[in-house]
Amino acid sequence: MVLLYYEILLFLSVGLTLIYAFMWHKHFDVHFTLIFAFIPISILGIVLCTRAETLEAAVTANKMTYIGGCFLILFIMQSVFGLCSIKMPRLLKVLFLAISSTLLGLVAFFDHPLFYKSVTLDRSKGYTRLIKNYAFMHSVFYAVIVIYFIITIAGLAYSYAKKRSVSRTILKLLILPEIVCVICFFGGRAITTKVELIPLGYVFAQIMYLIIVHRICLYDMDDTVVDSLVMKGDTGFISLDFKFNYLGSNDTAKEVFPELSQLTVDKPASRSEVMRETVLQWLRAFRNDETADKAYYNKDDSIYLVTVRYLYDGKHKRGYQIVITDDTKNQQYISLLGHYNDDLRREVAEKTEHIVEMHDNLILSMATMVESRDNSTGGHIRRTSVGVKMLIDEIRKDDAFELSDEFCRDIIKAAPMHDLGKIAVDDKILRKKGRFEPWEFEKMKKHAAEGARIVHEILKGTDDESFRIIAENVAHYHHERWDGSGYPDGLKGEEIPLEARIMAIADVYDALVSKRVYKEKMSFEEADKIIMEGMGKHFDKQLEPYYIAARPHLEEYYSTIE
C-alpha cells in the first residue's frame, strides 16, 4: 500500500507537470517551470528508494529527493517575490542559489558523514526504508528551509499590506502550498510514521500553482492584450530582422499581403516584388527617420494603417515589426469630414464675400447720397477712387514705401469714404453756387473730422481693423498739407498718414480738372503745374515721381469722361 501511495503521487505529479506544459506561456516566471520540473524528480527519488534492493541504491535514490528539498522552497520563495513585484537584489539571489547548491553538493558528493551519522536499510514492512541518524549539516539544511519560509511569508504579508496591484486571491493561493509543504516537511512524522507526507504536499503545491497560473494569465495585461489582438484577427503583424530577413507573420497580415505565404523564414523579404515596393520602403523610411513610422496602404476598397515599430526581445531590439490595422471607416469619415469642411468653408467664404460686398455697397451708397447733396461735385468719389488706384499702381512698382497688398487694397476701398463728413454740413453751405465766405468755409472744414467720426461708427464692429484705421485716416486727414497749413489738425510732413497724403493728390487733381459751379475745369497742363508747384508744400515731395508716372493715365482717363 505504501509503495502504491508513492506511485500514485508520482503519477499525479507527472500528470500535473504535463498539464502545466500544455498551459505554458513564454512570459511565465521561470521558477514556475522549475517547481513543476523538480517535484516529479523528488517524488521519483522516493519511489526508487522504496523499491531499492540495496543500501547503495536506496542512498542514491534518497539523494534525488534532496533536489526538491534543497531547491523547491527556494523556487517557491522566488516565484512569490516575482508575482508580488518585489525586487530581490541580484547578490541575494546568487547567495541563496549558492547555499542551496552547496547543500545539494554535500549530499551528492560527500554522502552520509556531514548529513547522516549512519544510515541503515529496513525492509521489514515489505518496502525499503532508510533509517537515518542525522548529523550537523542536516540541522543547517533545516535552518535554511526555515529561513526561506520566513522570508516568503514576510514577502506575502508585505504584499498584502502594501501592494494594491497584486491580486488578493493570488496571495491567498500562494500562502497555502507554502504552509502545507512546511507542515508536511517538519511535521509529517508527527502525523504518521508509516509514510512520508512531503510528496503529498508537493502534489498539493502543484495543484495550487496550476490554479495560480490560470489566474495569472488573466491578470497579465501585456500578454492578454497581445494575445487577444493576435487571436482576434483584426490586426496584422509582420516581423523582420535588421537585415530585412522575414521572420514571420499572422493570418491577418497574409490576407492583406498574400505574398507573405511565399516567403521563407530567415530569407530576405526582398525576394518578393510586392514586399520591395511596400514593406521594405516603409522600413527604410523608418530607419532614416523614426518619426516616419506610419503609412497607408490601399487595397481593393480598403485602407490600411501601417505602423512600423522595433521588434523587442526583452529590452533588446532585434528587428522591425509591421502592425497593420484596417482604417477604412476612419479614413472614409475623415474624407467625408474634409469634404464637409471644404463645402462649409466655401459656403462661409461665399456668404462672407456677399456680406462684405453688401457692406461696401452700403458705404458707397452713403457716399453717393452725400455727393448728390453737393451739386458741384458730381462723380467725384468715383473719379478720385480711380485716381488713387492709378497712384497706387505706380507706387507699387518700386520698394520705396514697401506697401503691402492689404494696404493697397484698403486705401482703394476707403477712397469713396473720404467726404462722408459732408452729410453733417448744412445744405445752404454745401449747395452754394459760389465761393464760400470765411465763416462758411469754417463750417465746411468740419466735414473732415465729422467724416472720421462717421467712418469710425460704421466700421467699429468690423473684424478688419487695418481697413478701419485707413478709412478713418483718409476721411480725417485728406485736407492736411505737407507744410502744416491744412486742416482740421494742422499736421505736417510725415505726421500725416501716407494714405491721406495719397488721397490728397487724387482729390485736388480731380477738383482742378473737373467743372464746379464756382469755376470752369482747368486744362491738364494748368492742373499739372499747380500739382507740381504744390510738391513739398501741399503734397508729399516723395510722391512726386509716382504722380508724374501716373499723369498720362490720369489724363487719358479724364479725357474719356469729358
The lowest-confidence range among 86-100, 182-196, 287-301, 437-451 is 182-196
More confident residue, 191 or 492: 492
* Res. 71: pLDDT tops 70: yes
Residue 536 has pLDDT above 90, yes or no: yes
Is-contact 305 294, C-beta < 8 A? yes
Measured CA to CA, the distance from residue 204 to residue 214 in angstroms comes to 16
State whether 443 and 478 are in the same domain. yes
Do residues 420 and 538 lie in contact, with contact meaning Cβ atoms separated by under 8 Å? no
pLDDT at residue 170 tops 60: yes
Q: At 529, is the pLDDT very low, low, confident or very high (cuts 50, 70, 90)?
A: very high
In a domain? residue 121: yes
Query: Does 25 fall in a domain?
Result: yes
Query: In angstroms, rounded to a whole number, what is the distance separating the alpha carbons of residues 406 and 465?
Result: 11
Residues 257 and 208 in one domain: no
Indicate if 309 and 416 belong to the same structural domain. no
Same-domain status, 386 and 517: yes
User: Tens of pLDDT along 11-65?
Assistant: 999 999 999 888 877 667 788 888 889 899 988 988 898 888 888 888 888 888 8
Mean pLDDT of the chain: 82
**CATH number where 456 lies:** 1.10.3210.10
Task: Please indicate, yes or no, whether residues 147 and 216 belong to a single structural domain of this protein.
Answer: yes
Read off the amino acid at residue 176. L
Which of these three, 326, 359, 382, is where a domain ends?
A: 326
At 339, is the pLDDT very low, low, confident or very high (cuts 50, 70, 90)?
A: low
In angstroms, rounded to a whole number, what is the distance separating the alpha carbons of residues 158 and 145? 20
Longest distance between any two alpha carbons in the chain, whole Å? 153
φ, ψ at 305 (rounded to 5°): -90, 125
114 occurs within a structural domain: yes
339 lies in some domain: no
Q: For 256-271, what is the mean pLDDT?
A: 86
CATH code where residue 135 lies: 1.20.1070
Q: For residue 146, report the phi and psi dihedrals to the nearest 5 degrees.
A: -65, -40
Give the tens place of pLDDT for each residue, 363-404.
666 666 666 555 454 578 788 888 999 999 999 888 888 888
Q: Where does residue 519 fall: left (phi above 0), alpha (psi -120 to 50 degrees), or beta otherwise?
A: beta
Q: How far apart are CA 322 and CA 281, in angstroms?
A: 12
224 with 214: CB under 8 angstroms? no
Per-residue confidence (pLDDT) for residue 248, from 0 to 100 = 84
Task: Report which of residues 311 and 354 the model is more confident about.
Answer: 311
* Distance, C-alpha 269 to centroid of its chain: 31
For residue 235, what pLDDT is reported?
83
- How does pLDDT run across 147-165, given as a tens digit for each residue? 988 998 898 888 888 876 6
Most confident by average pLDDT, 40-44, 233-237, 336-340: 40-44
DSSP designation for 245: B
Q: Check if the beta carbon of residue 22 is closer than 8 Å to that of residue 28.
A: no
Q: How far is CA 46 from CA 6, 106, 198, 279, 471, in A?
A: 7, 19, 10, 58, 107
Residue 221: per-residue pLDDT: 41
Residue carrying the nine cell digits 489724363: 555
In percent, the amount of the chain with pLDDT more than 70 equals 84
Q: Are residues 25 and 82 in the same domain?
A: yes
User: On the CB side of 559, how many CA atoms lie within 13 Å of its CA?
Assistant: 7
User: Which residue from 468, 469, 504 is spatially nearest to 486, judged by alpha carbons?
Assistant: 504
Place of cell 469642411: 341
- Determine, yes or no, domain membership for 341: no
Of 357 and 110, which is predicted with more confidence? 357
The per-residue pLDDT for range 202-211, each reduced to its tens digit, is 899 889 888 8
The reply to whether 342 falls in a domain is no
- What is the C-alpha separation between 282 and 305, in angstroms, rounded? 12
The reported pLDDT for the residue numbered 4 is 86
- Residue carrying C-alpha cell 497579465: 220
Answer yes or no: is pLDDT of 6 > 60.
Answer: yes
| 386 is a domain residue | yes
- DSSP code per residue over 158-226: HHHHH-TTS-HHHHHHHHHHHHHHHHHHHHHHHH-SSS-SHHHHHHHHHHHHHHHHHHHHHH-HHHHHH
Check residue 374 and give its pLDDT.
58
Q: Please check the confidence at residue 190 and state whether its pLDDT lies above 50.
A: yes
Q: What are the phi and psi torsion angles at 117 (to 5°)? A: -70, -35
Looking at the structure, tell me whether residues 199 and 265 fall in a common domain. no
- Same domain assignment for residues 104 and 78: yes
Q: C-alpha grid cell for residue 508?
A: 485736388
| Domain assignment of residue 338, yes or no | no
173 or 109, greater pLDDT: 173
Opening angle at CA 516, ends 419 and 527, nearest 5? 90
Q: Is 443 exposed, middle or buried (0-12, 13-18, 19+ CB in 10 A)?
A: middle
Alpha helices in 273-403 (DSSP H): 273-277, 279-288, 328-373, 380-395
In percent, the amount of the chain with pLDDT more than 90 equals: 21
Same domain for 241 and 218: no
3-state secondary structure of 52: coil
Query: Nearest-CA neighbor of 411 among 338, 492, 503?
Result: 503
Total domains present in the chain: 3
Q: Are residues 202 and 243 in the same domain?
A: no
What are the b/e assignments for 467-495, b being 16+ CB within 10 Å? bbbbbbbbbbbbbbbbeeebbbeebeeee
Q: H-helix or E-strand containing 455?
A: helix 447-459
Which of 132-146, 492-506, 547-561 shows the lowest per-residue confidence on average (mean pLDDT)? 132-146
Output the pLDDT for position 225: 46
Residue 303 is predicted with a pLDDT of: 87
CA angle 43, 65, 131 (to 5 degrees): 105
Choice among 134-143, 162-171, 249-258 with the minimum mean pLDDT: 162-171
Q: Are residues 494 and 408 in the same domain?
A: yes
Query: Which of 294, 326, 358 is the last residue in one of the domains?
Result: 326
| Number of other CB atoms surrounding residue 422 within 10 Å | 22
Range of the domain at 35: 2-224
Of the segments 110-114, 175-179, 186-190, 200-204, which one has the largest average pLDDT value?
200-204
Does residue 224 register a pLDDT over 60?
A: no
| Run of H or E including 246 | strand 246-249
Same domain, residue pair 252 and 210: no
- Give the pLDDT band of residue 105 (cuts 50, 70, 90): confident
Last residue of a domain, one of 183, 199, 224: 224
Nearest 10 degrees: Cα torsion 428, 430, 434, 438: 90
Decide: 266 and 242 in contact? Cβ < 8 Å.
Answer: no
The mean pLDDT value for 498-508 works out to 93
CATH number at residue 310: 3.30.450.20
Q: Decide if pLDDT at 518 tops 90.
A: no
The band of 424, judged by pLDDT with boundaries at 50, 70 and 90, is confident
Report the SS3 class of residue 445: helix
Mean pLDDT, range 469-483, rounded to an integer: 92
Contact 418, 475 (CB under 8 A): yes
| Residue with the three cell numbers 465761393 | 435
